[in-house]
Chains A and B, each alone.
Chain A
Amino acid sequence: MGVFKAIANGLGTSVRKPLVLAVLYAINVVFAAAAAVPFLIIAQTELGHSLLGSSVRPADLMWLGETALKYGDALPALLAGLLVAAVLYLALQVFLNGGVFGRLLDREGSATLAAFTGDCGRYFGRFTRIFLVSLIFLFLTFGIVLELVSALIGPAMKSAPTEWLPLILSNAHFLIALLLLSIVHMVVDYTRIAVVADNERRVLKALRHALIFLKRRFFRAWALYLLIVGAALAGTIGLSAVLGPLGGPGTATVIAAFAVMQIYILFRLLVRMLFVAAQAEFYRSHPY
Chain B
Amino acid sequence: MSIKRTLPVCLLAAALLVLPAALQPSQDPGVPAAGAPGLRYEIWVELDDAEKTLLGKEEIVWTNPTAEAVPDMLLHLYWNAFKNEDSAFLREAAAESMFSRGDAPEDGEWGWIDITDIRLADGSDLKPTLHYVTPDGPEHPDDQTVARVLFPAPVRPGESVRIRLEFRSKVPRTVARSGYYRDSFFIAQWFPKPGVYEAGKGWNAHAYHQNSEFFADFADFVVHIDVPSRFVVGSSGKQTGAVVDGAAGRTTYTYRQAMVHDFAWTADPRYIKIERDFIGAREVTPGEYAETAERLGLPLEEVRLPDVRMTLLIAPEHKGQIERHFRALRAALKYYGLWYGPYPYETVTMVDPPFRTGSGGMEYPTLFTAGTRVLASRNVLSPEGVIVHEFGHGYWYGLAANNEFEAAWLDEGFNTYSTGKVLAKAYGPGAMSFVFKGFPLDWFLRLPRNFDFELNRAAAINTVRYDPVTAWSWDFYNSGSYGANVYMRAATLLETLERLLGEPVWSRIMRTYHMRYRFKHPTKSDFIAVVNELSGKDMTWFFDELLEGTEAFDYGIASVSSAKVPLRLRGVYDADGARTEWTDKKIAELEKTGADAPGGPPQAAYRTTVVLRRFGEARLGGDARVEVLVRFKDGTTETRAWDGQARWARLEFVKPAEVASAEIDPSGVWLIDENLANNSRGADGLRRNVVKMISQQLFLLQNLFHFIGSWI
Contact = CB atoms under 8 A, between A and B. Distances in A.
Contacts of B705: 28, 31-32, 35, 85-86, 89
Given A29-B702, A32-B701, A49 B682 contact: yes
Interface stretch (B19-27, B227-235, B449-457): B449-457
Interface stretch (B130-138, B205-213, B593-601, B670-678): B670-678
B461 A254 contact: no
What range describes how many residues of A lie at the interface? 35 or more
A219 interface: no
B260 interface: no
Given A56-B690, A86-B708, A90-B708, A63 B677 contact: yes
Interface in A57-90: 57-66, 68-70, 72, 85-86, 89-90
Given A51-B663, A164-B317, A68 B462 contact: yes
Given A247-B446, A268-B706, A269-B706, A44 B679 contact: no
B687 interface: yes
Interface stretch (A3-11, A105-113, A202-210, A257-265): A257-265
A257 B695 contact: yes
B681 interface: yes
Contact of A254 (B373, B677, B695, B712): B695
Contact of A61 (B444, B450, B684): B450
A131 B710 CA distance: 12
Contacts of A46: 677-678
A5 B684 CA distance: 56
Contact of A66 (B676, B681, B706): B676
A86 B703 CA distance: 12
B685 interface: yes
A63 B677 CA distance: 8
Interface in B31-80: none
A58 B448 contact: yes
Contacts of A49: 681-682, 684-685
Contacts of A117: none
Contacts of B701: 31-32, 35-36
B374 interface: yes
Interface stretch (A146-154, A167-175, A220-228, A277-285): A167-175
Contacts of B129: none
A28 B694 contact: no
A64 B690 contact: no
B193 to A, nearest CB: 33
Contact of A54 (B444, B679, B688): B688
A131 B446 CA distance: 36
A170 B437 CA distance: 7
A166 B373 CA distance: 12
A124 B477 CA distance: 53
A206 to B, nearest CB: 16
A56 B686 CA distance: 13
A276 B484 CA distance: 51
Given A43-B693, A53-B689, A66 B677 contact: yes
A174 B437 CA distance: 8
Contacts of A97: 712
Contacts of A47: 677, 687, 689-690
Contacts of B698: 32-33, 36, 261
B486 interface: no
A247 B375 CA distance: 27
Interface in A217-266: 240, 243-244, 247, 249-251, 254, 257-258, 261-262, 264-265
Contact of A265 (B437, B685, B706): B706
Interface residues of B, number: 62
B216 interface: no
A272 interface: yes
A171 B676 contact: no
B710 A50 contact: no
A175 to B, nearest CB: 9
Contact of A36 (B445, B457, B694, B703): B694
B438 interface: yes
B355 A161 contact: yes
A188 B458 contact: no
Given A36-B694, A59-B448, A167-B375, A53 B702 contact: no
A261 B677 contact: no
B536 interface: no
A162 B268 CA distance: 13
Contacts of A43: 690, 693-694
B680 interface: yes
Interface string B456-495: 0111011000000000000000000000000000000000
Contacts of B663: 51
Contact of B317 (A29, A159, A163): A163
Contact of A188 (B432, B448, B712): B712
Contact of B457 (A62, A90, A94): A62
Contact of A48 (B438, B676, B690): B690
A288 interface: no
A55 B689 contact: yes
B463 to A, nearest CB: 10
Nearest to B465: A69
Nearest to B450: A61
Going nearest first, the 4 A-B pairs with the smallest beta carbon separation are A65-B458, A53-B687, A51-B680, A32-B701
Given A49-B685, A90-B709, A258-B695, 12 more contacts: A36-B701, A47-B677, A53-B688, A53-B689, A58-B692, A66-B675, A171-B437, A243-B446, A254-B691, A254-B695, A257-B695, A269-B706
20 contacts: A32-B704, A36-B697, A39-B694, A44-B690, A47-B690, A49-B685, A52-B677, A53-B686, A61-B448, A89-B709, A90-B712, A131-B712, A162-B316, A162-B317, A167-B438, A170-B438, A249-B688, A254-B692, A261-B699, A272-B709
